[in-house]
Structure 1
């Protein structure tokens, strides 16, 4: 089960209807700690049991383990870990592969990418980037405040404190952006940043 949040188009010949069950009786533990998977909006996700097997939400579990996962809409392919197939390399390499996010958009130097989705909706490029960093909310808040202010953000709303950050508005008065940060629930000592951007 993959909760990618992307609006892909699937050919009917690739889909087969099945009868599966939401399994509320399964508990998940990650590295010794109870874990409840949620989607990008904070909605709880439930494991699915089908034909004697249990399926977990890929994106949420990968995020809990600090493993990058992305969706290639063109190839209709889920990519877990490095796109090259190796487990090494820079954790920020996935950012550079985004075709849609502005090239100068700041990302923490130690970023661990947990979600990267590029899409095109109604002819406009969109990007969703989620990553973990050891940088504090205050540090990232200043970085992103400086960035959006330099891009002449309009309809801006900025709320930043020690435990959370929310920056929204339109870059250059036309490109909607949302930058949300908070303490990671899945990786102690890390901050989770979620960036949603759309071409104006």
Structure 2
């Protein structure tokens, strides 16, 4: 029988996976952790399954004897607002966090996203970084330290996934990618590349639920 984890206090872990060893001064650090499918989650006496924005099940992560839960999913389960202050690099939990806004963070449904003539590009992404003209950008998190700019964001587009994947592959090669892990199909793509001045993870898959009819792309970028 699976163990039950009753949530009285939530220990929050935030991890970004991508190419490593590029920036000694970066805030990102690679760790070895395990997805722990043996731990169940119970919220107010009821079994709860954490899911991401696409409805995919998320497992707790165990690292050095501590269990980490996805903060946004747990916040939704507890009906507690979650906000990210990009300027302060701080996650805010509760009503105080909800009242604070950050120009670097947004969550935009398809019906209210920016039009194709006004794509909201993240500030820290290179000016020539490929983003489709019809992109609807959301969930942007940006930071900068020691000359290294980091940005995590997602966007929705009607552009085909294989076309997007190949355009990113060519772009990262032009930027000097020396380490490459790339899988590009008509229904999904995953690219994890790095060079002397950047590291990137780019994934794409069809949107689900209210994002059906769009393709969803997730980008994690670090660069100078």
* Same fold by TM-score greater than 0.5: yes
| Alignment partner of 1:179 is 2:202 | yes
Cα deviation digits, residues 118-156 of structure 1 (max 9, x gap): 112565210112001111111111211221121121111
Cα deviation digits, residues 66-96 of structure 1 (max 9, x gap): xxxx8542596245568xxxx685365321x
CA RMSD after TM alignment: 3.8
Aligned-pair CA distance for 1:170: 1.3
Aligned-pair CA distance for 1:175: 0.8
Aligned-pair CA distance for 1:110: 0.8
User: Measured at CA, do residues 154 and 80 of structure 1 come closer, stay the same or move farther in structure 2, by a change above 3 Å?
Assistant: closer
TM-score, length-normalised on structure 2? 0.55
Q: 2:58 aligns with which of 43, 62, 77?
A: 43
User: Measured at CA, do residues 148 and 42 of structure 1 come closer, stay the same or move farther in structure 2, by a change above 3 Å?
Assistant: farther
Counterpart in the other structure of 2:148: 124
Gaps of 5+ in 2: 1-11, 17-41, 60-72, 90-99
- Residues 119 and 136 of structure 2 are in contact (CA less than 8 Å); yes or no, is this contact kept in structure 1? no
Counterpart in the other structure of 2:87: 73
Instruction: Name the SS of the counterpart of 1:132 in structure 2.
Output: strand
Number of residue pairs the alignment of both structures matches: 155
Q: Distance in 2 between matches of 1:24 and 1:142?
A: 47
User: Measured at CA, do residues 73 and 43 of structure 1 come closer, stay the same or move farther in structure 2, by a change above 3 Å?
Assistant: farther
Q: Distance in 2 between matches of 1:77 and 1:111?
A: 23
User: Measured at CA, do residues 24 and 126 of structure 1 come closer, stay the same or move farther in structure 2, by a change above 3 Å?
Assistant: farther
Q: 2:119 aligns with which of 79, 90, 93?
A: 93
TM-score, length-normalised on structure 1? 0.61
Q: 2:157 aligns with which of 130, 133, 151?
A: 133
Q: Distance in 1 between matches of 2:194 and 2:160?
A: 24
